[in-house]
Structure 1
Amino acid sequence: MAPATATASASGGSAVHDSADALEQGTSTQLRRRYTGGQTGELADDGIVRSRAGKQEPAPPSVEEAFADLPVPSWREQLTVRAFVVGSLLAVVFNVILMKIDLTTGINPSLNVCASLLSYFLVRVWTKAIEGMGLLRQPFTRQENTMIQTCVVSAYGITFTGGFSSYLFGMSGTIANKATEANDAQNIKEPHLGWMIGFMFLVSFVGLFALVPLRKVMIVDYKLTYPSGTATAYLINGFHAPHGSERAKKQVRTLGKYFSLSFLWAFFQWFYTAGDHCGFGSFPTLGLEAYKNRFFFDFSPTYIGVGMICPYIVNVSLLLGGIISWGVMWPLISTKKGSWYPETLPDNSLHGLQGYRVFITVAVILGDGLYNILKVLGRMIEAFVSRYRNRNTNTLPVSHDGTPVTTTETESFDDKRRLELFVKDQIPKTVAFGGYVVLAAITIGCLPLIIPQLKWYHILAAYILAPALAFCNAYGCGLTNWSFASAYGKLAIFSFGAWAGASHGGVLVGLAACGVMMSIVGTAADLMQDFKTGYLTLASPRSMFISQVIGTAMGCVIAPCVFWLFYKSFDIGASNSAYPAPYTIMYRNMAIMGVDGLSLPKHCLTLCYIFFAASFAINLIKDLMPKKVAKFIPIPMAVAIPFYVGAYFTIDMFLGCVILFIWEWKNKAEADSLGPAVASGFMCGDGLWALPEAVLSLANVKPPICMKFLSRSVNAKVDSFLAKE
C-alpha cells in the first residue's frame, strides 16, 4: 500500500497515501500469505510455521541452503549498469501508473510485486539476448533483482511523498479557487517544473539518513517483520531458486499477456473519447440516474487489477462507502437545498453540498488516523516493555501482528547466513549523521528561496522533531505494515500553519511543512522495508542504500516531469475531469482550518463530529473483536475514499476481487501464483497508455469519435433538432 500504499504505500511503506494508510496493511498481508505461508500457515522470521490454529509445525526447507552453492556478489558487483538502466525505465512506467491512479482517486496501491516481476522479466530478456551472442559476463542474481526493485520503489515513492495529488498541488490557484477562504496571492504557489524538481531534491533525501544507524536494531535485534519487505523478498527468492524458475517464467508470460491486452484495450477506448463524458469510461452501466450519482462501471483494467491486489474487505469497504455516500447521504442532503444551504450556490462551493462531501471525508480520515497513531504507539510501548522483561532470555519481542512471542528462538542456518552478510558492509555512522546535518542545513538555507512564506526556523523545528517521528513511523510500520506518513503530515499542517498565522501565508506554510515531514518519515519507513528485503535476499546494505539514493534522485526528476505532463495535457483538479485530484482540496482545507477555522454549511460540523467518532469507534471495535469477526468489519478509511470521488472505481475494484474469488475457489494454487501477475498486467498496460495519450494531447491529436449515452427523451429532442438542420 503503499498499501493501499498500500498497498499500498508502499517497499510497502512507499505506497502510502491517505487511502494507502488503510489499504497497505491488508494488501501486503495478503501478498505475504501467498509467498510465505501458503494455505496452512504463515512463516515467521524465526523459521517456525504457525498455523492459523496457533500450532507449531516443522520448519520449511532452508531458503539459504538452496542458494549455498551460489556465490554472493560483492556490494560493488550488485550495483550493475543494466540494473539502473532497467530501474530508470521502470521508474518512468510506475510513476505514470501511480500518477494516473493517484490523480483519479487518491488510492496508492503497493506495486512491489509488479516491480519485482517486471524487473525480473526485463533483465532476463537482456541477459538471454547477450548470452545468445556469447557476451554475458555476469549472471542475473537475486541481489541485483533486489537492487532494481529498491531503485524503482524509491523512484515511484516520490509520487506520494511529493504530494502531487495532495499538498503540493493543493498550493495551486486551481485548488485555491474552489474555496473563498485563503485564496489570496500569499497562499498560492502555482506548479512549475523547475521549482518542483528543486523542492523534491531538497526534501526527499534527508529521511534516508535519519535511521540508517538503527537498521541492525530494527531488523536483527527487534526482529520487526515489515510484511511488504518480507513478501517481496520471498517472491525474489522464489524467482531465482533452482526449483522456482518455471513458476517465474509462467508468471512473466502471464504478466506480458495481460499487459498487452490492457494496453490495446486502452488504445481502443481512446478513439471514442472526442468530447466530455464520451467513451466507455462514461458508460451508464447501471442506468442514467445511477450514472448521475457516479455509479457506473468504467471499463478500467487499472482498477480491476487494483481490486485483485487489495484484500476482499478493502474492496467491500470501498463499495459500501460509495453506497452510503452517493447512494444515500448526498441525495438526501441535496433535498435540503434552500434549507441547509442556499439554492444559488454552485455545485462546487464548499458552502453547499460540496462542503459536506469534503469535510465529512476529512473527519473520517482524521478519526482513522488518530486512532491508528495511538494504536501504533501502544504497540510500540508494549513491545518495548516485553523486550525489557525478556532482556535476559533469548526470545522474540514481537510477531508479525505486533503481539509478544514467547517461543524460544533457535538460530537457524538462514539466520546465521543473513546476519553474517547484513553486518558485513557497514554504512559509517559519520556518513549517516553527517549526511542528515548537511542536507538539513542545505534545506534550511534553500527551501525558503522556493517558498518564502516558509521560514528557516520552521524547517529547523521540523528537522529536530523528524528523527523521533521517523523512528515511530518505521517501528510502527515494522509491527503493522502501516506507514503513517500522511498522518504526521497532517499534524504538520495544523501545527506549522497555526504557528505562521493567516497573515503570513499560514496555509502555504502548513502545506509545505506537510511535505517536509511526510518526506522524512515516509522515506525512513521505506528504507527499513527495503533493508528487510535485502536482509532476506542477502543483498548488501551498502548497495541497498546506494540504490535507494539513486532511485530517489531518479524520482525527484521523473515524478515532477510526469506530473507536468499530466498537468499540461489534462484538466487536473476540476471536479468533472478525468483527473479530479480529490485529496488536494482536502489538504488545502485542513490547512485553512488550522490557520483560522472555516465556516461550514448547516449541520455539517455535527455530521463531522459523528463521522469522526464513528471512524474511531469502528477501528476500536475491529481490534477488540475476535479475528474471525473483525475480518468482516469494514475499514473506515476505505469507506471514506469514495465519499468525495464517487463510486465508479469501487465497482471496477469489486469486480476485480470477484474475479480473484472465483479463481481461488476453482484453483487456489494457480490464483495465488498467477493472480498478482494478472493484476500487474492490467494495471501496467492501462496505466502506461496515459503516457502516449498525454503526448497525443500535447500534439493536439484528437480522438475521432464521441460515444455518448442519452435518455430516450433527450435523444428524441436531439433527433428533432438535427432534422430541422
Structure 2
Amino acid sequence: MARSGRERRDQEEEEAAVVSVERVFEGRVVPGWKEQVTLRALAVSALLGAMFSVIVMKLNLTTGIIPSLNVSAGLLGFFLLTSWTKLLDKAGVASVRPFTRQENTVVQTCVVACSGIAFSDADLCTGGTGGFGSYIFAMSDRISDQSGEARDEHNIKNPSLGWMIGFLFIVSFLGLFSVVPLRKIMIIDYKLIYPSGTATAHLINSFHTPQGAKLAKMQVKMLGKFFVMSFSWGFFQWFYTGGDGCGFMSFPTLGLEAYRNKFFFDFSATYVGVGMICPYLVNISVLLGGVMSWGIMWPLIEHKKGDWYPADLKPSSLRGIVGYRVFISISLILGDGLYNFLKVMTRTTTALVMQVRAMMSEPTLPVSGGGGGGGGQTPEETFDDKRRTELFLKDQIPNWLALSAYVVIAVVSIATVPRIFHQLRWYHVAVSYVVAPVLAFCNAYGCGLTDWSLATTYGKLAIFTVGAWADASDGGIIAGLAACGVMIGIVSTASDLTQDFKTGYMTLASPRSMFVSQVIGTAMGCVIAPSVFWLFYKAFHDIGMPGSEYPSPNALVYRNMAILGVQGLGSLPKHCLDLCIGFFVAAIAVNLARDLAAPKVARFLPLPMAMAIPFYLGPYFGIDMCIGSLIRFVWDRLDGARAKAFAPPVASGLICGDGIWTLPQSVLALAGVKPPICMKFLSRTTNIKVDAFIAKLPSS
C-alpha cells in the first residue's frame, strides 16, 4: 500500500508539472521591478495608448458600445517589442535586454490605463474615467439645447482642453492610492478571480512560450491584414460623403421606409468587428431593442401626435417623441443598473462575510502591508501559487505612502475642483472623498468576483444626490455631472489597479511595476484622451447632433439624468412616466428571470442595458453587429479552432483600421478639404422632381 501511495503521489506531481505554467518559465530569471518598467515599454505604451484612445473615442461618440481591447493591446505590445529587440539585434547593438512577459504586462497595463481615460461608460472591469461621450460633453450648450430646457448659462460648461486635462489629473489618481493597502488581501488572502485580469495573464504567458510566440505572429499578421482593409475601406467611403446624408452609411439597404426608421446596414467595419467580439446575446439584444422601439413603439406613439404631445414642437424637443426615446432608454439603464448594483453588492457582502469568518477561525487574521508573512502555505497550494506569492510579496508598496498620497491629493482636489466647476461646492467634493474609498473597495471586490464594474452606477447615483443637493438655481445640473466624474474617477481606477495586480501576480510582474505603469499610463491618458476629444470636437462641427456621424447619445442621456435629479419628473410628456416605470420594472424582472432560469433558458433572455442603447439611436448599428455575429457563427461551425484563435485579431483589425482612419479624416476636415462626391439615395418620385428642377436651370 505504501508503494502504491508513493506511486500515486509521483503521478500527481508529474501531472501538476505538466499543467504548471511557472515550471515552463522556471529557468528564466525574473527581472527587478525597475527592469520591467523600461523606456522602450513606455514608448510602445504611449504609441498604442494614443492609437487606442482614438478608437475608443470614436466608439464613445457614435454608439457608446466599446468591446474589450485588452487582447489587441497585449498582442500589439508583444509584436512591437519583439520587433524592436530583433531590429536592435540585427543592427549589432550590444547588451540588448531580453523582452520578458513582465515587460509585456507593463505595456498591457500602461496601454489599458491610458486608453481607459477615454472610456465614457463601461460595465466590465476595464472601466474609464474620461466621460467625453457622457458627463463632460453633457455639460455643453450643444447638448443642453437638445434637452429642450431653457438656456441657463449657470448650467452650461463647454469643453476646453485646459480644464479637461486639469480635472482628469485631479480625479484620476485617487482611486489608485485608495486600494494599495488592500492589494494582498484581495489577491493572496481572498484569492479573488478577476476573470479579465486572469484571462489577460494567460494570454501574455502564452505569448512567451515557443508555441504561443508562433501563434502570436500569425495573429498579428491577420490583424494587420484586416487593419489595412478596414482603413482602405474607410478612405474609399470618404470620397462619397460630400454633403449631409451622403455616402455608404446612408445606403437604404432595406428600403427607404425602413431607412427612415433607422433600419439599414451602414457598411461600418467597426461595428461588424464589434459584433465578432461581443457575445451573441449582446448583439441580439441590441437588435431586439431596435425592433421593439423603432419598429413598434415609436410609430405607434407618433400616431398620438397632437394628443399625447403637441404637434408643433421642434423635432429635438424632449416634450415630444424624443422625450419618450430618451427617458424610456434611461429607465431601462437605471433598472438594469439598480438590479446589478444590488446583485453585486449582495454577492460582495456575502462573500466578504464568509471570508472574514473563515479568517477569524484561524490563529491570526492576515493583513496587508508587511514584507513577509501572510499567505502561508496550505496543503492545496500549488507550485505556481507558491512561486507567485513569493514574488508578489517581494516588492511592497508602503501603505503610509499610499495613504499620505490619498490625503494630499484629496485636499488639493477639494480646493481646486470647485474652481473648475464653481457650481460644485468644496463640501460636495469632501463628502465624495470620504465615501469613495468604501465604494472603491466594494467595486474592486465585486469586480474580482463577477468581472462587473459598478463605477458608472455609482457615478449616476452621484448625479442624482449631488444634483438635488445643489438645486437647479445653484447650477445643480453641472454640479451633479461634475460629481459623477469625481466618483467614477475614484471607483473605476480602483478596480482597474486591483485587476492589474492580479495580472501581474500571474505573470510574476512586480506590484511596484504594476502600480508605476498604471500611474504612468493614467498620466498619459490625462493628456492624450482630452487631446483626442478636442481633435474630434474641432474637426467635426456637428458632433453631438442627432443624425450626425458622431451623435454622442450618452451625453444627452447623462444631461437628462441630471435634469431629472434637479427638476423631478414634472417635465415628461403625457404617459411617458407610466412607460418609464413599466420599462424600469421590466428591466429588473428580465434580469431576475435570467438569474433564476436554467442556463439553457437564460442564454435566450435579452440584456436590458444592451436593449436600451438603440431606443434613442436606432437599430442600424445592431444590424452591423449581428452581421459580425453571423460571420463568427459560420466561422465557428466551419473551423472552430481557427475561429477561436483568429476571430479576435480579425475583429480588432476591423475596429482599429476604421478607427485610425478617423485621424487623417479629422486632419482633412481641419484643413478644409471636403469629399468630392455626394452619393445620395432618393425615392423615384423625389428623383423625378429633382430632374425636373435641374432641367429648368439655365445651362452653363
Superposition TM-score, scaled by structure 1 size: 0.89
Counterpart for residue 358 of structure 1: 326
Deviation at residue 711 of structure 1 after TM alignment: 1.1
Counterpart for residue 459 of structure 2: 489
Deviation at residue 246 of structure 1 after TM alignment: 1.1
Deviation at residue 180 of structure 1 after TM alignment: 3.6
SS in 1 for 2:318: coil
Give the one of 55, 76, 80 matched to 1:97. 55
RMSD: 1.5
Give the one of 114, 127, 142 matched to 1:155. 114
Question: Match of 1:550, as an amino acid?
Answer: I
2:550 pairs with 1:579: yes
Counterparts in 2 of 1:548-559, with a 5 A limit?
A: 548-559=518-529
Counterpart for residue 705 of structure 1: 677
Number of residue pairs the alignment of both structures matches:
657
Question: Structure 1 CA distance, aligned partners of 2:486 and 2:358?
Answer: 38
CA offset digits 1:430-459 (Å, max 9, x no partner): 111011101111111111111111111111
Question: Match of 1:304, as an amino acid?
Answer: V
Deviation at residue 135 of structure 1 after TM alignment: 1.3
Question: Structure 1 CA distance, aligned partners of 2:286 and 2:198?
Answer: 27
The answer to whether the 8 A contact 2:147-2:559 is kept is: no
Deviation at residue 393 of structure 1 after TM alignment: 7.9
Change in Cα spacing, 1:197 to 1:222, as seen in structure 2 (3 Å) is same
Counterparts in 2 of 1:416-565, with a 5 A limit?
A: 416-565=386-535
Give the one of 375, 383, 394 matched to 2:351. 383
The answer to whether the 8 A contact 1:319-1:647 is kept is: yes
Counterpart for residue 214 of structure 1: 182
Question: Match of 1:73, as an amino acid?
Answer: P
SS in 2 for 1:336: coil
Question: Structure 2 CA distance, aligned partners of 1:254 and 1:301?
Answer: 15
Deviation at residue 108 of structure 1 after TM alignment: 2.2
Question: Structure 1 CA distance, aligned partners of 2:667 and 2:72?
Answer: 24
- Flag structure 2 segments of 5+ consecutive residues without an equivalent: 1-11, 120-128, 364-377
Question: Match of 1:635, as an amino acid?
Answer: L
CA offset digits 1:5-39 (Å, max 9, x no partner): xxxxxxxxxxxxxxxxxxxxxxxxxxxxxxxxxxx
The answer to whether the 8 A contact 1:182-1:592 is kept is: no
Counterpart for residue 588 of structure 1: 559
Question: Structure 1 CA distance, aligned partners of 2:171 and 2:629?
Answer: 37
The answer to whether the 8 A contact 2:424-2:479 is kept is: yes
Question: Structure 2 CA distance, aligned partners of 1:720 and 1:306?
Answer: 44
Question: Structure 1 CA distance, aligned partners of 2:555 and 2:642?
Answer: 40
Give the one of 278, 286, 292 matched to 1:310. 278
Question: Structure 2 CA distance, aligned partners of 1:540 and 1:128?
Answer: 25
Change in Cα spacing, 1:724 to 1:181, as seen in structure 2 (3 Å) is closer
Give the one of 656, 674, 691 matched to 2:646. 674
Question: Structure 2 CA distance, aligned partners of 1:384 and 1:258?
Answer: 45
Change in Cα spacing, 1:85 to 1:691, as seen in structure 2 (3 Å) is same
Question: Structure 2 CA distance, aligned partners of 1:59 and 1:468?
Answer: 41
CA offset digits 1:110-131 (Å, max 9, x no partner): 1111111111121122122111
Counterpart for residue 69 of structure 2: 111
Counterpart for residue 123 of structure 1: 81
The answer to whether the 8 A contact 2:148-2:319 is kept is: no
Give the one of 56, 64, 72 matched to 2:30. 72
Superposition TM-score, scaled by structure 2 size: 0.92
Question: Structure 2 CA distance, aligned partners of 1:296 and 1:60?
Answer: 52
Question: Structure 1 CA distance, aligned partners of 2:89 and 2:109?
Answer: 25
CA offset digits 1:391-449 (Å, max 9, x no partner): 4489xxxxxxxxxxxxx971111111111111111010011101110111111111111
SS in 1 for 2:117: helix
Question: Structure 2 CA distance, aligned partners of 1:492 and 1:373?
Answer: 14
Question: Structure 2 CA distance, aligned partners of 1:471 and 1:360?
Answer: 32
2:55 pairs with 1:83: no
- Flag structure 1 segments of 5+ consecutive residues without an equivalent: 1-47, 49-56, 395-407
The answer to whether the 8 A contact 1:254-1:678 is kept is: yes
CA offset digits 1:355-393 (Å, max 9, x no partner): 000000000011001101100111012212332454448
Question: Structure 1 CA distance, aligned partners of 2:680 and 2:27?
Answer: 62
Give the one of 220, 230, 235 matched to 1:252. 220
Question: Structure 1 CA distance, aligned partners of 2:191 and 2:534?
Answer: 41
CA offset digits 1:199-250 (Å, max 9, x no partner): 1111111111010110111111111111111111111111111332211111
2:626 pairs with 1:654: yes
Question: Structure 2 CA distance, aligned partners of 1:389 and 1:446?
Answer: 42
Counterparts in 2 of 1:156-305, with a 5 A limit?
A: 156-160=115-119, 161-181=129-149, 183-305=151-273
SS in 1 for 2:329: helix
Deviation at residue 59 of structure 1 after TM alignment: 9.1
Larger RCO, structure (CA 8 Å, separation 6 or more)? 2
Question: Structure 2 CA distance, aligned partners of 1:104 and 1:379?
Answer: 34
Question: Match of 1:194, as an amino acid?
Answer: G
SS in 2 for 1:159: coil
Change in Cα spacing, 1:482 to 1:420, as seen in structure 2 (3 Å) is same
Question: Structure 2 CA distance, aligned partners of 1:420 and 1:670?
Answer: 37
SS in 1 for 2:68: coil
Question: Structure 2 CA distance, aligned partners of 1:685 and 1:171?
Answer: 31
The answer to whether the 8 A contact 1:176-1:188 is kept is: yes
Give the one of 122, 130, 146 matched to 2:105. 146
Question: Structure 2 CA distance, aligned partners of 1:179 and 1:96?
Answer: 27
Question: Structure 2 CA distance, aligned partners of 1:179 and 1:87?
Answer: 39
Give the one of 373, 391, 394 matched to 2:341. 373
Question: Structure 2 CA distance, aligned partners of 1:501 and 1:231?
Answer: 45
The answer to whether the 8 A contact 1:182-1:507 is kept is: no
CA offset digits 1:125-147 (Å, max 9, x no partner): 21221111121611111111111
Max radius of gyration: which structure? Answer: 2
